[in-house]
Structure 1
Amino acid sequence: MSKPQAYYSWYNLSVQIVFALCLGSLTYGYCFSIISTTLGQPGFYAYFGLAAVATDPNYAYTNRILGATSGLFSAGAFMGCWTMGWMCDARGRKQALWIAATISLVGSALQAGSAAIGMFLFARWLTGYGVGNLVTLIPIMQAEISPPASVVLVAGYTVAGWVGFGCFFATNPNFQWRFPLAVACLWPLLTLAVSPWIPESPRWLILRGSKDEAWTIIAKLHYNPADPEELYARREFDQMCRQVENDRLYFEHESVVDLFRKPSYRKRMICGFLTFFSNESSGILVIYNYSVLIYKGLGQTGYMPLLLSGVYVTLGAMGNWVNSMLVDRVGRKALFLTGLSGMLVSLIAETALVRFYAGTAGHGGLSAALFFIFLHLVFYGCCIDANSFVYCSEIFPTHIRPRGMAWSVGTLFLTTIPYLEAAPTAFATIGYRYYIVFIILTAINIPIIYFFFPETKGLSLEEIGEKFGDDVAIHLTNQVEDDKKEMEANMSAFETVRDP
Structure 2
Amino acid sequence: MSTSGGPKGAKDLDIADLLDRGPWWKNGRLWSLNLWLLLLLLTSYANGYDGAMMNNLQVLDQWRVTMGDPSKEKLGILTAIRNIGLLAGTPFTPYVMDGFGRRVAIALGAFLMISGTAIQSASFSASMFMGARFLFGFGLAFATSASPLLIAELAYPSHRGPIVSAYNSLWYSGAIVAAWTTFGTFRIPTQWAWRIPSILQGAPSILHVTLIWLCPESPRWLLSKGKDAAALRILAFYHGRGDEKNPLVRYEHSEIKKAIERDRKVAETVGWRTLLATPGNRRRMRMIIALAFFSQWSGNGLVTYYLNLVFDTIGITSTTTQTLINGVLQIFNLSICLLASALVDKAGRRVLFLTSSGGMLLFFSLLTVCSARYAITGSSAAGDAVIAFIFLFFGTFCLAFTPLTVPYTIEILPYSLRAKGFTVFSFSLALALIFNQFVNPIALPALGWKYYIVYDCFLVFEFAFMYFFCIETKNRTLEQTAALFDGEQAVQDLATSGITAIILPNESREGLDEVEKRGEQSVA
> What secondary structure sits across from 1:431 in the alignment?
helix
The answer to whether the Cα contact below 8 Å between 1:86 and 1:403 also exists between their aligned partners in 2 is no
The answer to whether the Cα contact below 8 Å between 2:313 and 2:449 also exists between their aligned partners in 1 is no
Shift of 1:253: 3.4
Q: Distance in 2 between matches of 1:42 and 1:298?
A: 20
Please name the residue that 2:189 is paired with. Answer: 171
Shift of 1:382: 2.5
Q: Distance in 1 between matches of 2:504 and 2:307?
A: 49
Equivalent residue for 2:61, pick from 25, 42, 49: 42
1:477 aligns with 2:493: no
Structure 1 gap segments, 5+ residues each: 51-60, 481-500
Please name the residue that 1:137 is paired with. Answer: 146
The answer to whether the Cα contact below 8 Å between 2:120 and 2:132 also exists between their aligned partners in 1 is yes
Shift of 1:24: 2.1
List per-residue Cα deviations over 1:435-476 (Å, max 9, x = no partner): 222211221122222222222223466864343223434234
1:5 aligns with 2:18: yes
Please name the residue that 2:273 is paired with. Answer: 257
- Once the two structures are overlaid, the 10-residue window that deviates more, 247-256 or 178-187, is 247-256
Output the amino acid matched with 1:287.
V
Please name the residue that 2:6 is paired with. Answer: none
Shift of 1:264: 2.6
Structure 2 length normalisation: TM-score? 0.84
Please name the residue that 2:362 is paired with. Answer: 345
> What secondary structure sits across from 2:451 in the alignment?
helix
Structure 1 length normalisation: TM-score? 0.88
Q: Distance in 1 between matches of 2:432 and 2:138?
A: 16
> What secondary structure sits across from 1:477 in the alignment?
strand
Equivalent residue for 1:312, pick from 329, 338, 342: 329
1:76 aligns with 2:82: no
Please name the residue that 2:131 is paired with. Answer: 122
Q: Distance in 2 between matches of 1:379 and 1:180?
A: 29
Output the amino acid matched with 1:36.
N
Q: Distance in 2 between matches of 1:341 and 1:157?
A: 25
The answer to whether the Cα contact below 8 Å between 1:73 and 1:128 also exists between their aligned partners in 2 is yes
Shift of 1:359: 7.8
Q: What are the residue-to-residue correspondences of 1:427-442 with 2, within 5 Å? A: 427-442=444-459
> What secondary structure sits across from 2:427 in the alignment?
helix
Equivalent residue for 1:419, pick from 430, 433, 436: 436
Shift of 1:360: 5.5
1:85 aligns with 2:94: yes
The answer to whether the Cα contact below 8 Å between 2:240 and 2:248 also exists between their aligned partners in 1 is no
Please name the residue that 2:114 is paired with. Answer: 105
Shift of 1:247: 2.1
Distance 1:163 1:137, change over 3 A: same
The answer to whether the Cα contact below 8 Å between 1:64 and 1:424 also exists between their aligned partners in 2 is yes
The answer to whether the Cα contact below 8 Å between 2:179 and 2:323 also exists between their aligned partners in 1 is yes
Shift of 1:170: 1.6
Q: Distance in 2 between matches of 1:370 and 1:389?
A: 29
Shift of 1:266: 2.2
Please name the residue that 2:380 is paired with. Answer: 363
Shift of 1:261: 0.6
> What secondary structure sits across from 2:448 in the alignment?
coil
Distance 1:70 1:461, change over 3 A: farther
Q: Highest Rg: 1 or 2?
A: 1
> What secondary structure sits across from 1:434 in the alignment?
helix
List per-residue Cα deviations over 1:22-42 (Å, max 9, x = no partner): 2222x2221233111111211
Aligned residues with identical type, % of pairs: 26
Please name the residue that 2:402 is paired with. Answer: 385
List per-residue Cα deviations over 1:341-371 (Å, max 9, x = no partner): 1111111111111112038641110000111
Q: How big is the alpha-carbon RMSD for the aligned residues of Structure 1 and Structure 2?
A: 2.2
List per-residue Cα deviations over 1:95-122 (Å, max 9, x = no partner): 1111011111111111111111111111
The answer to whether the Cα contact below 8 Å between 2:475 and 2:504 also exists between their aligned partners in 1 is no
> What secondary structure sits across from 1:327 in the alignment?
helix
The answer to whether the Cα contact below 8 Å between 1:342 and 1:376 also exists between their aligned partners in 2 is yes
1:224 aligns with 2:241: yes
Q: Distance in 2 between matches of 1:387 and 1:477?
A: 21
Please name the residue that 2:392 is paired with. Answer: 375
Distance 1:461 1:316, change over 3 A: farther
